[in-house]
Structures are given as structure tokens and as C-alpha cells.
Amino acid sequence: MQTGKISEIAYKRSVLKKINNKTESIEVGIDCATVELEDVTLVMSSNCIFKWFKGCEDYYIGKAINALCEQNAKPKYLKVDINIPENFEEKQLGKVIKKINDSSEKRQLDIKQCRVYVSNVENIIANITIIGYSRERHARKNIKENMHVVMAGTAGIGATYIMSILRKEELLKKFSPTFVNNCIKTGEYLDVAKMTEIAFASDAVAVHAVSDGGVFGALWELASSVNLGIEADIKKIPVWQEAIEVAEVFNYNPYLVDGSGAILIVTEKPEKTVEYLNDSGIYATDVAVLTKSNDRVIINGEEKRYLEPPKGDIIYNLL
């Protein structure tokens, strides 16, 4: 298996088939869980840090918060479970916890639990759970064929930011310091809360945060979560030159790697959604339509290619 999320086939076969009380929250392509309370919807999302790099604590907390935004939820609490190797230094553990705490304070999260275990793992592993709430529920069952998919943000930004942080020296051998610094600054565009709020204000039916597997993976997951097909025009999918250049250096497809910082918006009113976002300074465009067919395809002029189910994310192999 490739590092990252397990494949859809493996998930359906070895996870969904073993769970009796199936809910929308554990279906393929849905990254946050919801619990209906009397006057509010509790929303939860998690992420796992198993590849460590500078700033990864804040980065992965942000990714988990982005998933909560699929329900337009306000993040409130953080729960952390950490597994460390037997030879892991206590001083190093303290540094990790401080970075998690700093990120929590910056994002106004209350840490409700932080447990640490010593085990026979080879490297430190941290499981992060964000808990928040929403005043409304956005169920995927309301998605229908012929609805449009608007993309806000741009492809491959998560991977661009990570690679420009980790492999900065390699990039400086090929590009100017100004260009490399611009790649690093893409980290300023990873938060999707504002664009999600605007999307729902424009009568969006649902939102799907782009994450591991990139925008192609997100298009597949969105369609798969409602058992529909999808047709997307690759020429309409926004991608910055920084993402293209970094992807070329490290030989990966910018449409298939971590796309944190972008969302897919399902709407019956794509023009209204695009207008709302553009008026707020957020680039957005109508990129796809959901179809009755189960085919999930990318259109490039006269060419048509079929999407494949996400199989992890190659970015983890480059860290």
C-alpha cells in the first residue's frame, strides 16, 4: 500500500463491511464525523502525524480544522494521543508538546486531553482530533446529479508549501530566492474557513476539503460519497506557477498531491458562488458537474481521461 489513506477498495472491504452501525460520517470521501445534539451539531475530525518536518504540528492541526469546515463548524477543542519510541528523549517530547500548545493557542483551541504512550514504534506518531460545533447540518444526501462543483483555492498548495520548507536548498539551486520564498509563502493560503463560510452563504449544498490525494482525489471522493459520476475540465482547475515548478523538480503531479487550502463546493448556483468568493478576494471557478453515470472523468480539450481512486499520497515518500 502507498503511504497515506488506504484505497477506497480496501476501506470498503476491510472497514465498512466490518461496521454494523453505518452512518454518513464513515462513508468513503467524508472527512468529519457529526453527532446531532438538541440544539447544535457536534463535529469531529482527526489527522495523524507520522512524517515529521518543521512546523508539521501546526500544519496537521490546520488540516484537521479544514475537514471540520465541511460542516461550516467552529473548532473548539483539541485531543492529542502520542506514541513515542522507548529511546525517545523527554526533552524532545517537551518541544513537540510546546509546538502543539503554541498552535492551539494561535487557533484558540482548548486542549482537553493529551496522552503520551511509550511503545515499540520506530518513530513518534501523533493522533490529533479536533472537536467543534455547527448550528446547521450539511448532509451529502442533498447532493443530486447535474449540480455543479466550484473550486475555491488552487491545486497542490499543501505539497508546494511542505516541499519548499523541507527541500529549500534543492529549490534554491534551480530558482531565485524570491521565487522560493514565494513558494514558502503559499503556507499563508492553507486555511479554508473563510472560503467555506462564504460558500455556504451563497447557498452551497455541500463542501469537500481538498487534502491528501490532491484535487483529483477530492473530485473522486466527492463523487464516490454520493454514488455519482463527475466530469471536470482540467483547464478550469486553478494551479499556481509555484505549484507547477516545484512539482516538476520533484517529479510529481500537482493535481494528485496534498491540496490543503482548496475546497470543492457543490451548488445549484455556480455563478452566485463564484461571484461571492471573487468579491471577497478568493479565486474560484466552476470546474465540474456531477452526473448520473458512475464515470469520473477529466476533460482536457478533445481528450478524456478517467480518474482513479485515490491511493495514498506520494508526498509522504518525499518527506
CATH 3.30.1330.10 fits 31-134, yes or no: yes
In the prediction, which pLDDT does 50 show?
A: 87
Instruction: Report the Cα–Cα distance between both ends of the chain, in Å, rounded.
Output: 17
Average predicted confidence (pLDDT) for the chain? 93
How many CA atoms does the CB half-sphere of 202 hold within 13 Å? 26
Q: Which residue has the higher pLDDT, 17 or 61?
A: 61
d(CA 151, CA 210): 9
- This model's pTM is above 0.85: yes
Contact 190, 260 (CB under 8 A): yes
DSSP for the chain, please give it: --SSSPPHHHHHHHTGGG-SS--GGGSTT---EEEE-SS-EEEEEEEEE-S--TTHHHHHHHHHHHHHGGGTPEEEEEEEEEEEETT--HHHHHHHHHHHHHHHHHTT-EEEEEEEEEES-SS-EEEEEEEEEESS---GGG--TT-EEEEES-TTHHHHHHHHHHTHHHHHTTS-HHHHHHHHGGGGG---HHHHHHHHHTT-SEEEE--TTHHHHHHHHHHHHTT-EEEEEGGGS---HHHHHHHHHHT--TTSS--TT-EEEEES-HHHHHHHHHHTT--EEEEEEEESSS-EEEEETTEEEE-------THHHH-
pLDDT tens digits for range 65-120: 999 999 999 999 999 999 999 999 999 999 999 999 999 999 999 999 999 999 99
pLDDT of res. 1? 56
The answer to whether residues 223 and 290 touch, using CB atoms and an 8 Å cutoff, is yes
Identify which has the larger pLDDT, 28 or 141. 141
Cα–Cα distance, 144 to 121 (Å, whole number): 45
% of the chain beyond a pLDDT of 90:
78
What's the confidence (pLDDT) of residue 22?
66
> CATH topology of 31-134 equal to that of 142-318?
no
Q: CA-CA distances (angstroms) from residue 300 to 192, 211, 296, 297, 303?
A: 27, 23, 14, 10, 5
Residue with the bigger pLDDT between 25 and 127: it is 127
Average pLDDT over residues 222-248: 96
Question: For the segment 161-191, what is each residue's pLDDT rounded down to a tens digit?
Answer: 999 999 999 999 999 999 999 999 999 999 9
**CATH number for the 142-318 domain, one of 3.90.650.10, 3.20.20.150, 1.25.40.10, 3.20.20.70?**
3.90.650.10
Spatial CA neighbour of 128 closest among 83, 82, 84, 92: 82
* Domain ranges within the chain, ordered by starting residue: 31-134, 142-318
The answer to whether the beta carbons of residues 84 and 124 sit under 8 Å apart is yes
For 281, residues 6+ apart whose C-beta sits below 8 A from its C-beta are: none
